[in-house]
């Protein structure tokens, strides 16, 4: 095992990887792919490592995507913004706003790259990456060529996409760029609860408001290492929802999906199960937002997993609802679950 991944994941897990490549240029691909093929190693691509937990040393190749570049074009009704995968999405939003391109402001301050955005279809405050995605550009390792996967084929859902759900995609494609399609006519998206009873006249006002509430509610990984929401908000059947809301009338819930299920707030469930501000060893849940698991200093992956399991069990016992991780968890060669 060669190098530490500590500076490449926002949980600051001090695990090692057999090889780490910082990909700054397309010309580096052949060497990286040769290493993967020659030793028949698994690989994982990281952007800012803000949605991953490594549970042990990774016996494979970690590619840190640092491909940079932004291109802008337009037609009568839309702006088209092509971002190389290593661009920080928040910086891209700021750059768009400086150019008078508005619409992305609800996604401000999510600490990820453009290449990471389509994988879990990141989103916040009622807006998701899929609302603006035109296509995802990929390096196809099977056919050895650059390709485009159009948004309609990405199977985007709540914190998921074909890149996450289809096992074949996981080992076949490396995202090299994304293109966004942004309507020229700006529509404020303020249906989410946090915007209630507030008036927003400009995109900048929404951007500033989103930044302010995120800074108030969420720990900055530079101060308290974390990977944002550790669990997804669960969808439950209408029947289960009716029973829960009768027993817990103040339980927040959001929308229904195509299957008629209702999304409920995982942070609230964790809080009411008595796990907000929990501390177990060097790990715990954040005192202002229970959905965020935190590393209070030199926590091991096992300490984070221990908290995750504890929270999962408590929520299951209290509400009969199983929380699924939003964060992607990696063992020595493959992705795994909290209980493995
Ligand atoms: C403080 C904080 C707040 C957060 N808030 C939110 C939020 O509001 N909403 C939200 O959705 N998420 C949030 N997150 C989680 C995270 O920032 C997002 O999921 C983001 O999209 C991850 O981007 P990344 O570049 O860091 O991806 P990484 O963590 O590096 O990777 C995540 C997954 O994507 C894959 N991947 C990354 N880049 C590529 C690529 N180029 N090609 C192929 N696969 C790739 C990785 O292999 C991995 O499986 C938050 C995280 C933190 C720390």
Residues 110 and 41 both lie in one domain: no
CA–CA dist 178, 242 (Å, integer): 40
User: For 89-128, how does the pLDDT look when each residue is reduced to its tens digit (9 = 90+)?
Assistant: 999 999 999 999 999 999 999 999 999 999 999 999 999 9
Query: Is there an atom of ligand 1 within 6 Å of 174 CB?
Result: yes
Are 161 and 51 spatial neighbours (Cβ–Cβ below 8 Å)? no
- In angstroms, rounded to a whole number, what is the distance separating the alpha carbons of residues 271 and 217? 14
Whether 110 is in the pocket of ligand 1, judged by its Cβ within 6 Å, is yes
152 and 137 co-located in one domain? yes
Q: How far apart are CA 168 and CA 148, in angstroms?
A: 16
How does residue 340 score in pLDDT terms, banded at 50, 70 and 90?
low
Examine the domain organization and report whether 76 and 184 are in the same domain: yes
In a domain? residue 212: no
Same domain flag for 154 and 231: no
User: Are 100 and 42 in a shared domain?
Assistant: no
Mutate to test the pocket of ligand 1, among 228, 295, 329 (most ligand atoms within 8 A of CB): 228
User: Across the chain, what does the average pLDDT equal?
Assistant: 95
Q: Does ligand 1 lie within 6 Å of residue 175's CB atom?
A: yes
Asked if 299 and 276 count as a contact pair (C-beta separation under 8 A), the reply is no
- Decide if 88 contacts 110 (C-beta within 8 A): no
219-246: average pLDDT? 96
Q: Do 245 and 308 share a structural domain?
A: yes
| CA distances from residue 215 to 10, 221, 265, 271 in whole angstroms, order as listed | 16, 11, 20, 20
Specify whether 141 is located in the same domain as 225: no
Final residue belonging to a domain, choices 65, 85, 114: 65
Which of the 8 DSSP states describes residue 145? Answer: E
| Mean local confidence (pLDDT), 262-282 | 96
Answer yes or no: is pLDDT of 339 > 90: no
Radius of gyration of the CA atoms of the chain, in A? 20
- Is residue 312 predicted with pLDDT exceeding 90? yes
Structural domain boundaries enclosing 17: 3-65
Is position 117 within any domain?
yes
CATH number at residue 92: 3.30.465.10
Predicted local distance difference test score (pLDDT) of residue 86: 98
Domain count, the chain: 3
- Asked, for residue 197, whether it belongs to a domain, the answer is no
Q: Is residue 236 part of a domain?
A: yes
More confident residue, 167 or 225: 225
**Which residue bears the tokens 């091991």?**
300
- Alpha helices by DSSP H, listed for 218-287, are 238-247, 266-272
Residue 199 lies in a domain: no
pLDDT tens per residue, range 140-152:
998 989 999 999 9
The four Cα atoms 134, 139, 145, 147 give a dihedral, to 10 degrees, of -10
Q: What is the mean pLDDT of residues 35-60?
A: 96
Q: Which of 15, 50, 65 is the last residue of a domain?
A: 65
Q: Give the rounded percent of residues in the chain with a pLDDT score beyond 70.
A: 99
Q: Whose CA is nearest to atom 20 of ligand 1?
A: 112
Q: What number of residues does the chain have? A: 340
* Chain centroid offset of residue 266 CA: 16
Beta bridge partners of 113: 88
Question: What pLDDT does 257 receive?
Answer: 79
Name every residue whose Cβ is closer than 8 Å to that of residue 328 and which is 6 or more positions away in sequence.
51, 52, 53, 120, 164, 335
Is-catalytic flag, 159? yes
Please give the distance, rounded to the nearest whole angstrom, from the Cα atom of residue 244 to the centre of ligand 1: 31
Asked if 224 and 320 sit in the same domain, the reply is yes
Return d(Cα 116, Cα 24) in angstroms, integer: 16
Asked whether the beta carbons of 175 and 147 are under 8 A apart, the reply is no
CA of 122 to the centre of ligand 1 (A): 7
Residue 310 has pLDDT above 80, yes or no: yes
224 and 152, same structural domain? no
- The arithmetic mean of pLDDT across residues 14-42, rounded, is 95
Residue 208 within any structural domain of the chain: no
Phi/psi of residue 56, nearest 5 degrees: -160, 180
Query: Of these residues, 128, 130, 161, 229, which one is catalytic?
Result: 229
CATH code where residue 231 lies: 3.90.78.10
Q: Return the pLDDT at 281.
A: 96
Atom of ligand 1 nearest to the CA of 159: 11
Q: What is the pLDDT of residue 78?
A: 98
> Among this protein's residues, is 179 annotated catalytic?
no
Known catalytic residue: 326?
yes
- pLDDT tens-digit map of 174-216: 999 999 999 999 999 999 889 999 999 999 999 999 999 999 9
pLDDT category at 171 given cuts 50, 70, 90 is confident
Q: Which of 303, 338, 332 is CA-nearest to residue 5?
A: 332
Please report the pLDDT score of residue 114 as a whole number: 98
Q: For residue 49, how far is its CA from the centre of ligand 1 (angstroms)?
A: 6
Q: Is residue 152 part of a domain?
A: yes
Is 34 part of a structural domain of the chain?
A: yes
Buried b (16+ CB within 10 A) or exposed e, 302-337: ebbbbbbebbbebbeeebebebebbbbbbbbeeebe
Judged by average pLDDT, the poorest of 40-44, 133-137, 141-145, 294-298 is 141-145
Ligand 1 atom with the shortest distance to the CA of 85: 41
Residue 79 and residue 58 share a domain? no
Q: Is the pLDDT of residue 62 over 90?
A: yes
CA-closest residue to ligand 1 atom 8:
124
| CATH number of the domain to which 58 belongs | 3.30.43.10
Q: At residue 337, does pLDDT exceed 90?
A: no
Contacts 24+ apart (CB under 8 A), 212-216: 214/108, 214/109, 214/124, 215/109, 216/288
Query: 46 and 93: one domain?
Result: no
What is the mean pLDDT of the segment spanning 317-332? 96
- Of 50, 159, 161, 179, which residue is the catalytic one? 159
Question: Domain ends where: 31, 49, 65?
Answer: 65
Does 124 sit in the ligand 1 pocket, CB within 6 Å?
yes
């Amino acid at each position: 095992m060669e190098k530490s991944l500590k500076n490449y994941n926002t949980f600051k897990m001090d695990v090692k990887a057999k090889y780490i490549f910082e990909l700054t240029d397309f010309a580096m691909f052949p060497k990286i792919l040769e290493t993967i093929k020659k030793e028949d190693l698994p690989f994982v691509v990281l952007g800012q490592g803000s949605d991953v937990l490594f549970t042990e040393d990774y016996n494979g190749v970690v590619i840190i995507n640092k491909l940079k570049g932004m291109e802008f074009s337009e037609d009568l009704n839309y702006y088209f913004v092509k971002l190389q995968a290593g661009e920080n999405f928040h910086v891209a939003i700021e750059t768009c706003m400086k150019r008078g391109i508005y619409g992305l402001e609800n996604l401000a301050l999510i600490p990820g790259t453009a290449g990471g955005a389509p994988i879990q279809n990141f989103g916040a405050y009622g807006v998701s990456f899929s609302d603006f995605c035109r296509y995802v550009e990929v390096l196809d390792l099977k056919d050895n060529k650059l390709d485009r996967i159009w948004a309609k084929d990405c199977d985007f859902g709540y914190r998921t996409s074909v890149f996450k759900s289809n096992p074949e995609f996981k080992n076949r494609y490396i995202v090299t760029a994304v293109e966004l399609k942004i309507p020229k006519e700006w529509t404020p998206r303020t249906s989410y609860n946090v915007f209630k009873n507030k008036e927003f006249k400009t995109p900048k006002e929404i951007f500033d408001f989103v930044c302010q509430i995120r800074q108030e509610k969420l720990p900055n990984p530079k101060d308290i290492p974390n990977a944002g929401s550790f669990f997804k908000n669960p969808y439950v059947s209408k029947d289960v929802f009716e029973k829960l809301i009768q027993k817990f009338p103040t339980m927040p819930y959001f929308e229904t999906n195509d299957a008629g299920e209702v999304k409920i707030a995982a942070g609230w469930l964790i809080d009411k199960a008595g796990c907000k501000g929990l501390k177990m060893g060097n790990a715990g849940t954040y005192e202002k937002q229970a959905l965020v698991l935190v590393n209070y200093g030199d926590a091991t992956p096992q300490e984070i997993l221990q908290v995750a399991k504890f929270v999962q069990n408590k929520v299951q016992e209290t509400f009969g609802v199983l929380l699924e991780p939003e964060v992607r968890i990696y063992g020595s060669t493959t992705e795994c679950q909290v209980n493995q």
